[in-house]
Structure 1
Amino acid sequence: MKVLLVEDEKPAAQKMARLLKQTAPDADLVATTETVEDTVNWLQENGEPDLILMDIHLDDGLCFEIFDTVKVTAPVIFTTAYDEYAVRAFKVNSIDYLLKPVGEEDLRKALDKYRAIHEKYHYGQAGYRHLLQEFSAAYKSRFLLKIGSRYKSVSVNQIKYIFSSEGNVFLQNTDGQAFALEFSLDHVQKLLDPADFFRINRNCLIHIDAVEEMVAYSSSRLQLHVKEEKPQEMFVVSRDRVPEFKRWMDR
């Protein structure tokens, strides 16, 4: 069993490596990475391990940025001091969510869960990943929109961007039509696949296929040129989201 450890605190990484050796003598700790960038680079260069032990808060951001940047299908055991990310974690291949300080019995039970599922799907990693997909929450593929007395079904692939304005949220499709949604933008973001949609600022979620190019803008921000749209402030990537946005575009 090849294991990748993602942990930015050296004492915590050393403790986890020690616990892993105690609870799983057959495990091979192939690498330890400390940042989102290091982990993405390692996965791109080495492929996926059998299992990932992953902290959530890393030096350069939250670990979920890894899943937004590179495709990860390996099972993950999350280890963190924070409990508010549990729901989000189980959307990205999580088989367990351990709160720090992680004890030997906690890790043993999580590894037993991994082995039990792996043995049940003994025909290989493909079957195991299929099971993980069953556990993961599915993202929306369509929105059913009410327009007066009529209804219209819009595929997420027909969405250019979703934006909020004056307390209301609207969906803009590829035909140039805007439709009101009954959800908040925060809720809509949770419904959509982060591989396809990115929250570029407080007011706009954009589909990756709608972006034609990026231009340097004031205060280290980016102005996006969106297909068949005039440049406007709504399409400016917030400064704090620029690094993550670049990684998202450069998959």
Structure 2
Amino acid sequence: MRALIIEDEIRNANKLTRLLQSIDSQIEVITVLESVKESVAWLKQSEAPDLIFMDIRLEDGLCFEIFEEIDIQVPVIFTTSYDEYALKAFKVNSIDYIMKPVQEEDLERALNKFKSRQVVPSFTDSIKDILGHLHKKEVTHRSRFLIPYKDGFKTVKVEDVDFIYSEQKITHLCLSDKSEMIVSQTMDELEEELDSTVFFRANRQHILHIDSIGSIHNYFNGKLKVVLVNDPDREIIVSREKAPLFKNWLNS
């Protein structure tokens, strides 16, 4: 069986590959693709695999955008930490998914479901339904954080957050007064919870508030370098794939 993995975290892709080969040595992982753009290009010009493993959040957008460009006619198993509403949509449309971090028993269950299929369905209409549900969903953004402080707690308003960074898997809020607070949420969770009109995930380590940005410079190979108002020595690089999204966000 020929499998394609679409996943922008190489560590996750490597783990998934190891688990697949542990479960069934006959599974061949053809390649690993990291972005919507790269996936669309590959799928347009390559022979279709037997099965696709697809992360929902890629470095340049949501994987659902791939289905808007390509009519995928092979089964897809999503790997996801996405919200419950979307997962319900997957169930309704009989699209399998595995919650991250991927566990071997969950992967084996999904593979057994794939192997038991008699007819290969088209997922294009199902994905369109999911996109419709997501677009209609009422979004409530986080407005504050409750943070342990001394022998109690304190609240921090989201409007006081200048930027957010992750270091050694610890998430730091950098506030407008240049103080820092540690929060329990992951960067992926905060990306979902914060208002995307004022916060942007520049890379894996940084989420920026629009007002935190001092200047933007062209960097090599189509990348961008962002200089912050309150922390100009911090190096923040936006990838070539994500640069157009960043420019569109700034221009919206």
> TM-score normalized by structure 1?
0.50
Q: TM-score, normalised by structure 2?
A: 0.49
